[in-house]
Amino acid sequence: MTSAVVQPVPRNFGRMMGRRARDWVPAIVIFVLGIGAWEGFVRGLDVQRFLLPPPSDILRTFWEQRDTLTSAGLFTFKEALGGFVIGSGAAVVAALVLARWRPLGDALMPYAIAANAVPIIAFAPITNNWFGILSPASKMVIAAVICFFPVMVNTLRGLTSVRPQSIELMRSYAAGEVEIFRRLRIPNSLPYVFTGLKVATVLAMIGAIVGDYFGGSQEALGIQIRRSAGIFAFEEAWAAIFVASVLGIAFYAAVALVERLVMSWHPSARGSRTE
Amino acid sequence: MNDQAAVVSLHGVTKDFARGGVRALQEIDLEVRPREFVSLIGPSGCGKSTLLRVIGDLVEPTSGEVVVNGKSAHQARLERDYGIVFQDAVLYDWRTAAKNISLPLELLGWDRARRTERVREMVELVELAGFEQHHPWQLSGGMQQRVAIARALSFDPPLLLMDEPFGALDEMTRERMNMEVLRIWEESGSTIVFVTHSIAEAVFLSTRVFVMSPRPGRITGVVDVDLAQPRNAETREQERFFELVTEVRELLRAGEGDGARVGEEVSS
Amino acid sequence: MLRRGLTLVAVLAALWGLWEGYRAFGVAVGLTWPFEVNNRTMPHIHDMIGQLFEPSRRNGPLLIEVLGKASLFTAKEAAVGFALGAGVGFLLAVVLVHSMLLQRGFLPYIVASQTVPILAIAPMVVVWLGGRGLPGWFSVSVIAAYLTFFPVTINALRGLQSADPRAHELMDSYAASRWTVLWKLRVPASLPYLFAAFKIAATASIVGAIIGELPASIQDGLGGAILNFNQYYASSPESLWATNIIAALVGIAFFLAVVLAERLVVRRAPENLA
């Protein structure tokens, strides 16, 4: 048998990591250079120090205030997480419903896409009035609505982007709609769902933090940033932003990790392959 | 001659597609007897793929009668009387080869032990032992098609429908797969309806070849292939093989001309 | 065409029905969870729309006039920001597509930049640019640009790389220069991706503009209007709701503008949907 067969992804962990590490070198170099330049530029030229403090000062301020900042970070993260779960959960359910009743789904898809264009954040004052300005629920609702449409649109697309021949195959097995969903549409949609979820993590964090701009609890990160900036204590503001960033990246990475585990079969998880 | 009931029988089947007002099939009459290997050949647009799908109840005819395994095509599909193989292997990326093969068995509600056993048999039948745990993207085109064939036969259907399954493969792999299909045909005892573009393939594989022509799609001739069984590499070099290929080719040519010259008779 | 119109009417009617239905139910039952339902929390929709034609304050211009002006103001900020962000994003992608090294070096930060809540550093941007003598609304545009450049860069990069390798080989066989390849092959291939990004960016620039107005203390735009009517929520909830409806319409209008542009510029093969 001379047909070419591709080896499964090598189990050689070390070799895989080696290749990966090499890919990251340019990014690490840029990071080091960037931080170094930032530090040097700001200190050396004493430029805009009060607006853009050197990284060392930011880290120092973060360390000094780590208790307040981490608790604020967790408070806001809970709002974001709650919104993410509610919004994405509802979105997946909605997508399943719309994929099942296609005429409805096809008719509503453009509206879902348009609804995504509405600046949801503008509704923060209203949710504040509904749930109380201090309640995390008001920000959670905003985050949930922001997450809903991207996840729904992506999931719906994943459920319906199936090759006609795959459907014919299932029909040749006299499979009913439920079976087609279970064995074809849902597994097919997973890459799309995770794309939507990753976008949603970022949106949920932003929704939670920016929702605070219209008013919120003192314990929330957004309020702290606004307050610090308002009194020109920019080191504190940047330290809070640093926390927000780290949380956002961690959230995104967590979802990406789950994606890797669930979809180990996906082409993007392959190591090297020849086609 | 075999006087058992035909596995597939079509009478006066016509198919019009509303979109574009195309008559894909006109008054198709054909019969396929048990254990036959029948090919449908014709140029693009002659309706051969549509005809295959009519047999499989994946496309509804505008008029005419379709009987498969003694029942209506619809009933036959619901009772899973046939397996189908497409030009694209249409395997599911998220399943291993073994799990792809067991897909119809899962739908039929077979228990795990029975499924595992049958998958093992099928893997041996298509000679893919050692590759069951691979994912589709780890297999070559020919191997993917073998998985597709194994999947189509896994539940022992009396009829196998194949829509240009080797069209995407290179010539050498294709000839090898031709031998594979013949071997599988013999071992499984099924009836096969095979759609192809290749005259040589049609003659090599079949017991009968139906020649079709387009605009509107219809059968313009039938060629009985009386080459000795089992077929092998030498069959392709026999004189009778070339005679049959020529016969099919001339039928095709006559069919093509037919579309331009309305009213002239076709010699068969 | 008729079907589209009917669907639109049906959707609007359904939304209206859901709102009024939930409201009627909530009032009748005395619902307090998730929130209390009354005239203040859920005004009638016809009241909200009616409010547009009332004076925004005593003896002042009609609300709809005020909001119309505010919308134009914010739309201008957003449009400038969109143009700036899209331009920078596209340029960045063009530079990156020609160097794998630069890509590996900078992409992680471009991605990470979006996790920094720019709206968080909006106050700083406003102070900085204000110190340089630039008008307040420009700071808002800069913030909108920041939100725009990311989707444009990522999608443009993917789009510029999306052409079939064989098409590239054809160009090589003509000994085409990099510039020619860029403009004759890469850019046309990237158009669908660009428009996908523009659709996201359109919304992002409006959001950026509205929120950016808050730390910049700009009164003339929609952000200012929202803050303003938020203060009067107790006495006139309909005004805030009307403002939000207008803001939603502006967002949708921006989005539709991009969709229209796409229809005119790009002809796509139909998606494979089953």
- Using CA atoms, how far apart are residues A216 and A127, in angstroms rounded to an integer? 11
How much is the average pLDDT of A104-124? 85
CB B47 within 8 A of CB B212: yes
Q: Which chains touch B (3 or more CB pairs under 8 A)?
A: A
The Cα A141–Cα A79 span in angstroms is: 9
Tell me the C-alpha to C-alpha distance, in Å, between residue B145 and each of A163, A183, B170: 17, 20, 13
Amino acid (one-letter) located at A223: I
B180 pLDDT above the threshold of 60: yes
pLDDT of B179 above 50: yes
CA distance B139 to C231: 66
Determine how β-strand B159-163 pairs with β-strand B71-72: unpaired
Contact yes or no for B228/B195 (Cβ under 8 A):
no
A256 has pLDDT over 80: yes
Kindly report the average pLDDT of chain A as a whole number. 80
Q: Which chain A residue lies closest to B144 (C-alpha atoms)?
A: A5
CA-nearest of C151, C165, C161 to C194 is: C151
Q: With a cut of 60, say whether residue A262 has pLDDT above it.
A: yes
Name residue, tokens 């930011």: A58
Distance of CA C54 to the CA centre of its chain: 28
Is some CB atom of chain B closer than 8 A to the CB atom of A268? Answer: no
- Name all contacts of B114-117 with Cβ < 8 Å and 24+ positions apart: none
Question: Which residue in chain B has the smallest CA separation from A262?
Answer: B94
Decide if C217 touches A, using CB distance below 8 A: no
Whole-angstrom distance, CA of residue B100 vs CA of residue B150: 9
Other residues' Cβ atoms within 10 Å of the Cβ of residue C34: 10
Could you say which residues from 168 to 207 on chain A have a Cβ atom under 8 Å away from some Cβ of chain C? 202, 205-206
Query: Across the interface, which of A31, A119, A125 has its CB nearest the CB of C240?
Result: A125
The span from the CA of B61 to the CA of B67, in Å, is 12
Q: Six-digit token pair at A55?
A: 């990284």
pLDDT in tens, C84-139: 999 999 999 999 888 888 887 887 777 777 767 666 677 777 777 877 778 878 88
Closest residue to C120, CB basis, from A23, A130, A209: A209
Q: Which two tokens stand for residue C3?
A: 């079907």
Give the phi and the psi of residue A244 in degrees, each rounded to 5: -60, -45
The owner of tokens 């780590």 is A66
Q: Would the CA dihedral through C148, C154, C157, C159 be positive or negative?
A: negative
Chain B residues in contact with chain A using a Cβ-Cβ cutoff of 8 Å: 53, 56-58, 77-80, 82-84, 86, 88, 90, 92-95, 103-104, 106-108, 131, 134-135, 137-140, 142-143, 173
DSSP characters for B121-182?
A: HHHHHTT-TT-TT--GGGS-HHHHHHHHHHHHHTT--SEEEEESTTTTS-HHHHHHHHHHHH
Q: What is the pLDDT of residues B220-248, one digit of tens each?
A: 999 999 988 888 888 989 999 999 999 99
In the structure encoding, which two tokens stand for residue C187, read together?
């850019």
Given this model, what pLDDT does residue C84 score? 94
More confident: A274 or B217: B217
- A3–B90: do the CB atoms touch at under 8 Å? no
- The answer on pLDDT for A46 being more than 80 is no
Strands B191-196 and B159-163: parallel
Asked if the Cβ–Cβ distance from B84 to A168 is below 8 Å, we say: yes
| Least confident residue range of A168-177, A226-235, B118-127, C116-125 | C116-125
A174:B80 CB<8 A = yes
Task: Report which secondary-structure segment, H or E, holds B208.
Answer: strand B208-213
Asked if chain C contacts chain B via 3 or more Cβ pairs within 8 Å, the reply is no
* More reliable by pLDDT, A33 or C205: C205
**Using CB atoms, which residue from C35, C101, C115 is nearest to A131?**
C35
Of B58, B79, B107, the CB nearest to A179: B107
- In this prediction, residue A21 carries a pLDDT of 61
Amino acid identity for residue A64 in this structure = E
| Residue bearing the bigger pLDDT, A12 or B70 | B70
Sign of torsion over alpha carbons A171, A175, A180, A184 = negative
- Computed over every residue of chain C, the mean pLDDT equals 84
**Which chain A positions have a beta carbon within 8 Å of C233's beta carbon?**
125, 129
Closest to C119 (Cβ–Cβ): which among A123, A167, A210? Answer: A210
Residue in B closest to A183 by C-alpha: B103
In this predicted structure, the answer to whether residue A275 has a pLDDT above a threshold of 50 is: no
pLDDT at C80 over 90: yes
- From chain A, pick out residues whose CB is under 8 angstroms from the CB of C248: 118-119, 122
CB contact, 8 Å: C75 with chain A?
A: no
C residues 6-45 lying closer than 8 A (beta carbon) to A:
7, 11, 34-35, 40-41
C43 phi, psi to nearest 5 deg:
-65, 160
CB atoms closer than 10 angstroms to residue A249: 19
Kindly state the DSSP code that residue C62 receives in the 8-state scheme. Answer: B
For residues A177-183, average pLDDT: 91
Per-residue pLDDT tens digits for B127-169: 899 999 999 888 998 899 999 999 998 988 999 999 999 988 8
Judged by a CB distance cut-off of 8 A, whether residue A107 touches chain C is yes
Cα of C105 to nearest chain A Cα, Å: 4
The answer to whether the CB atoms of A222 and C120 lie below 8 A apart is yes
* DSSP-based helix, strand, coil % in chain B, nearest 5: 40, 25, 35
Which residues have CB under 8 Å from C78's CB, separation 6+?
Answer: C141, C144, C205, C206, C208, C209, C254
Buried b (16+ CB within 10 A) or exposed e, B147-173: bbbbbbbbbebbbbbbbbbbeebeeeb
Angle between helices C187-212 and C222-231 (to 10 degrees): 30
Q: What is the chain A residue with the closest CA to B94? A: A265
pLDDT in tens, C238-255: 888 889 899 999 999 999
Q: Looking at the predicted structure, is the pLDDT value of residue B57 above 70?
A: yes
The pair of three-digit structure tokens given for residue C60, joined into one six-digit string = 């002042």
Token pair 């640093």 is found at: A242
Residue to test with chain A: of C104, C214, C250, most A Cβ within 10 A: C104
Name which of C104, C210, C237 is nearest A119 (Cβ-Cβ): C210
CB-based contact C115 A111, cutoff 8 Å? no
Chain B residues inside the 8 Å CB shell of A168: 53, 58, 84, 86
For chain A, helix (H) and strand (E) counts, in that order, are: 11, 0
Cβ–Cβ below 8 Å for B84 and A169: yes
The neighbour count for residue C118, using CB atoms within 10 Å, is 24
pLDDT at residue number C48: 86
Q: How many Cβ pairs closer than 8 A exist between chain A and C?
A: 157
Distances (CA, A) of B216 to B26, B53, B80, B259, B267: 6, 17, 30, 8, 18
| Cβ atoms B157, B80 nearer than 8 A | yes
Would you call A175 helix, strand, or coil by DSSP?
Answer: coil
CB contact under 8 A, B94 and A173: no
Please state the ipTM of this predicted complex: 0.77
Split at pLDDT 50, 70, 90, the class of C29 is confident
Sequence-ordered list of residues with C-beta below 8 angstroms from that of C160, at least 6 positions apart, any chain: C93, C94, C97, C182, C186, C187, C189, C190
**How many CA atoms lie less than 13 Å away from C22 in the CB half-sphere?**
15
**CB proximity A231 to C under 8 Å:** no
Cβ <8 Å between C207 and A125 = no
Q: Do C105 and A29 touch (CB under 8 A)?
A: yes
Q: For residue C83, what are its two tokens?
A: 């143009």
> Where are any strands of DSSP class E within A139-199?
none
Provide, as residue numbers in chain C, all residues whose Cβ is less than 8 Å from the Cβ of A222: 117, 120
Average pLDDT over residues A31-40: 79
Quote the CA–CA distance of B133 and B116 in Å, as a whole number.
13
Residue pairs spanning A and B at CB distance below 8 A: 74
Q: Which of B80, B83, B138 sits opposite A8 (nearest CB)?
A: B138
Q: How far apart are CA C208 and CA C113, in angstroms?
A: 15
| Cβ(B248)–Cβ(B223) below 8 Å | yes
Q: What is the pLDDT of residue A87?
A: 95
